[in-house]
Amino acid sequence: MIPDMCCKEDEGLKIEGVSVNDIVEKYGTPVYVYSGSRIRENYRRLYDALKERYDKIRIHFAAKSNTNISILKILKEEGAKLDTVSVGEIYLALKAGFRPQDILFTGTNVSDDELNYLIDSNVVINVDSLSLLDWVLDKTHPEILSVRVNPTIGAGAHEHLITAGDDSKFGILERDIVKAYSKAQHAGVNRFGIHMHIGSGILDPDPHRKATGKLMNIVRNVREKTGIEFEFVDIGGGIGIPYEPQEKEMDLERFADEVIGCFKEKLEQYDLGNPYMCMEPGRYIVGDAGIILTRVNTIKKTKSKTLAGVDAGLHTLIRPAMYGAYHHMIHTGCTVDKEMETYDIMGPLCESSDFLGRERELPKLEESDILGILNAGAYGFTMASNYNSMLKPAEILINDSKHRLIREAETMEDLANKQRY
Ligand SMILES: Cc1ncc(COP(=O)(O)O)c(C=O)c1O
């Protein structure tokens, strides 16, 4: 959650000193609002915890969680590199000023056109299949190449968020890894990285520790069979954030102790040199730095429920409908003396799954009240859609108690713009 939210009786909610009412009045609803200082704090907390324990740390921010160029620029200023999964993300990363050598491409199932763009853009390619490896080696001589390993240890807050396992669509299985590196070596590549990403929304250090141990055993095997000394070992992203009020945040000290501890132990035990240790967090960096402000349009009773209809929906935040994800909601107005009521919070789409929350205890709502949907900084806008021909909202960045428009809201013309009729 954005930490210094304060709600004064007379003014309603403020985020870093900026009144929610001012934002809503100026930009309308729904609207995504981000805290620049929270993004920086999250980045530094993670970087410092890792760096304290191992000197060569790199954080590749996972652009898929939030690709707003202004947000990418903040992370660039902090010293982050980027993990990208599409050529569109590479395009935006370059616009934000990242150097190609600081952009890792971890796409899966890539088309020929995308591959050509990749080669031209000169980013670091992290191959996810043997066929992609063949293509890359056929078309170019990469200065450095990485291979995404499927360590078959997966974890995540929902089955759709698990990205490793025997039949996962991601990465290359251990049995083919030595073959992959040997091929690249024979093709003349001489600088290498290795990578995994086991899943997302993980609040316990155990899966990362176990998977890091397995990855390091693979590093050792590759080293023994090919002599390769890795420049970086990337253990992926996936650190979760507490979405529900009773959830506890990841114990970062324990995470860093265990994961870096395991990494260093294997480096020493197997004499694996001094590679960079990389992580690619998305949600941990931007998740709790974003909030969606949404207006109550309708209060409606069904046989057994009270529904509050808001102007955000699954087109604005798909996580509740897609993963059954919980996002905490708050009333942003003055709620002193209001009784509590239980609501199901529905969006405006013609779609039965368009609910943002069920059974939420909130101060009694009235039409035109503004709700804040918390922890919407990651996988909010990037997963938004125009379903039902809804318009994508504006994005606002708060920095030093000032708000700034960092993406205009779409207009009706945008819906027709690319159509030919
Ligand atoms: C390859 C890769 N790296 C990093 C991430 C970031 O995950 P998270 O936002 O959970 O940290 C993802 C997310 O799916 C990913 O696919």
pLDDT in tens, the chain (421 residues): 554 455 555 677 888 889 999 999 999 999 999 999 999 999 999 999 999 999 999 999 999 999 999 999 999 999 999 999 999 999 999 999 999 999 999 999 999 899 999 999 999 999 999 999 999 999 999 999 999 999 998 889 889 999 988 888 899 999 999 999 999 999 999 999 999 999 999 999 999 999 999 999 999 999 999 999 999 999 999 999 999 999 999 999 999 999 999 999 999 999 999 999 999 999 999 999 999 999 999 999 999 999 999 999 999 999 999 999 999 999 998 777 789 999 999 999 999 999 999 999 999 999 999 999 999 999 999 999 999 999 999 999 999 999 999 999 999 999 999 999 9
The answer to whether the CB of 42 is under 6 A from ligand 1 is no
Domains 6-35+287-416 and 67-281 share a fold: no
Please give the C-alpha separations between residue 297 and each of 11, 28, 181, 311, in angstroms, as whole numbers: 21, 13, 57, 7
**First CA to last CA distance, the chain:** 45
The answer to whether the CB of 154 is under 6 A from ligand 1 is no
Per-domain residue ranges of the chain: 6-35+287-416, 67-281
From 61, 67, 83, mutation site for ligand 1 pocket: most ligand atoms within 8 A of C-beta: 83
The answer to whether the CB of 171 is under 6 A from ligand 1 is no
Determine the pLDDT at residue 334: 73
**What's the CA-to-centroid distance between 286 and ligand 1, angstroms?**
12
Q: Which of 351, 380, 383, 414 is nearest to 31 (CA)?
A: 380
CB 341 within 8 A of CB 365: yes
362 vs 339: CA distance, rounded Å: 8
The ligand 1 atom at the shortest distance from the C-alpha of residue 237 is: 11
CB neighbour list of residue 87: distance below 8 Å, 6 or more residues apart? 107, 114, 117, 118, 121
Determine the pLDDT at residue 6: 56
In this structure, are strands 192-195 and 124-127 parallel, antiparallel, or unpaired? unpaired
**What's the CA-to-centroid distance between 280 and ligand 1, angstroms?**
6
**What's the CA-to-centroid distance between 224 and ligand 1, angstroms?**
30
Q: Which amino acid is at 193?
A: G
Which structure tokens are listed for 106?
């971890």
* Superfamily for the 67-281 domain: Alanine racemase (3.20.20.10)
**What's the CA-to-centroid distance between 200 and ligand 1, angstroms?**
6
From 75, 202, 280, 383, mutation site for ligand 1 pocket: most ligand atoms within 8 A of C-beta: 280
Determine the pLDDT at residue 9: 56
Q: Which of 213, 197, 202, 201 is nearest to 163 (CA)?
A: 197
The answer to whether the CB of 197 is under 6 A from ligand 1 is yes
For the domain covering 6-35+287-416, report its CATH number. Answer: 2.40.37.10
The ligand 1 atom at the shortest distance from the C-alpha of residue 200 is: 10
The ligand 1 atom at the shortest distance from the C-alpha of residue 287 is: 9
Determine the pLDDT at residue 12: 79
289 vs 279: CA distance, rounded Å: 19
164 vs 12: CA distance, rounded Å: 44
The answer to whether the CB of 83 is under 6 A from ligand 1 is yes
Determine the pLDDT at residue 3: 41
Determine the pLDDT at residue 8: 57
CB 164 within 8 A of CB 170: yes
Please give the C-alpha separations between residue 298 and each of 197, 209, 360, in angstroms, as whole numbers: 42, 48, 16
Q: Which residues are catalytic?
A: 350
124 vs 129: CA distance, rounded Å: 15
